[in-house]
Amino acid sequence: MLLIGIIIAFVILVIASITDLKSREVPDYLSYGLIFIAFAIALAYTIIYKEYYYLLNSIMGFVIGLIIAYIMFYLGQWGGGDSKLIMGLGAIIGFNTFSVFGKNNFWLLILMLNIVFVGALYGLIWSIVLAIRKRKIFVKNLKIWFDRRDIIITKRILLAIIVILTALIFTIVPKKYVYIMLLFVVILYLLFYLWLFVKVIEETCMVKDIPINKLTEGDWIYKDVYVGKKFITGPKDLGVSREQIALLKKYVSSKKLKTVTIKEGIPFIPAFLFAFIVTIIMYYIGIF
């Protein structure tokens, strides 16, 4: 059953990656289809072998995917398509609820961890490429951000914390742990600049105005949209809805609106595919 799930999930991820790269969308039929197939296979195994844990494993995997998807969506890290697909992956891979230390039980856990680490690397590479492609506007806005009062204050506070931590490391930490702790301090310092780099990329290279007729459900609105004093949509909506798009189009026909500002996300499904391939390799060479 695990092998069947791996094959189906791989095919779905390849198709979803292509559509995500082309249109920045993942069709619902792929995500919902994956969930449906997962439960259908689990139910068939349950009926054939008269063991209910096949279906229970699939349900547990779906629930784990749902929890992760919910967290990442409301943190603004994933769009609706990404979230639905991760639920489908959870359902098709499943989670063995009985034999916790069995060989196959760690498949879903390892996959989710790989998505985090591979996704972070993928996002960083994508951001670097964006910065190079739009280097003029990126450099200009990076200077603006460095001159911001809140950033200057944050840098000073961070520097003071690092000085204090360094002093404590050399005075109270045993010698054999000094270099490890210093490495932690360096990473802490670099994380701030990594965050700043990613933030500038988001605010300058991923923000653009588009005609309202090109809006699609789930697009992230960057600025609040008002017609007169009436609020239509904004960043807090976590993606524009079909109803809001229909309302916006009415105002276009009356020439009250022409464009809206959106923030483009990174096409993240290819990161799922890469993480999935890494997990397959780890499994078959016996790492878990």
* 7 and 118 co-located in one domain: yes
The answer on 248 and 166 residing in a single domain is no
- Pair 224, 139 in one domain: no
Q: For residues 112 and 156, state if they share a domain.
A: no
User: Mean pLDDT in runs of 10 for the chain (288 residues)?
Assistant: 86 95 86 94 92 89 92 77 91 70 67 91 90 89 91 93 91 86 89 88 82 81 83 80 85 79 86 94 82
Q: Are residues 29 and 76 in the same domain?
A: yes
Question: Of 159, 184, 205, which one is at a domain's C-terminal end?
Answer: 205
Q: Considering only CA atoms, which of 277, 270, 278, 25 is closest in space to residue 125?
A: 270
Same domain, 6 and 19: yes
Please tell me whether residues 64 and 104 are part of one structural domain: yes
Two tokens, residue 288: 């878990």
Check whether residue 182 and residue 111 sit in a common domain: no
> Helix, strand, or coil here: 51?
coil
What is the number of H-type helices and E-type strands within the chain? 10, 5
Q: How many domains does the chain have?
A: 3
69 in the same domain as 46: yes
CA pair distance 17, 280, nearest whole angstrom: 17
Residue-number span of the structural domain to which 24 is assigned: 2-124+268-284
The reply to whether 155 and 120 lie within a common domain is no
**β-bridge mates for residue 155, sequence order:** none
Q: If you write DSSP's letter for every residue of 218-276 in order, what string do you get?
A: T-EE-S-EEETTEEEE-GGGSS--HHHHHHHHHHHHTTS--EEEEEPPP--HHHHHHHH
CATH of the domain at 110: 1.20.120.1220
> Does residue 201 sit in the same domain as residue 217?
no
**pLDDT the model gives residue 97:** 53
Residue with tokens 């802490």: 188
Q: Which helix (H) or strand (E) holds 215?
A: none
Give the H/E segment covering residue 211: strand 207-211
Query: Is residue 169 located within the same domain as residue 213?
Result: no
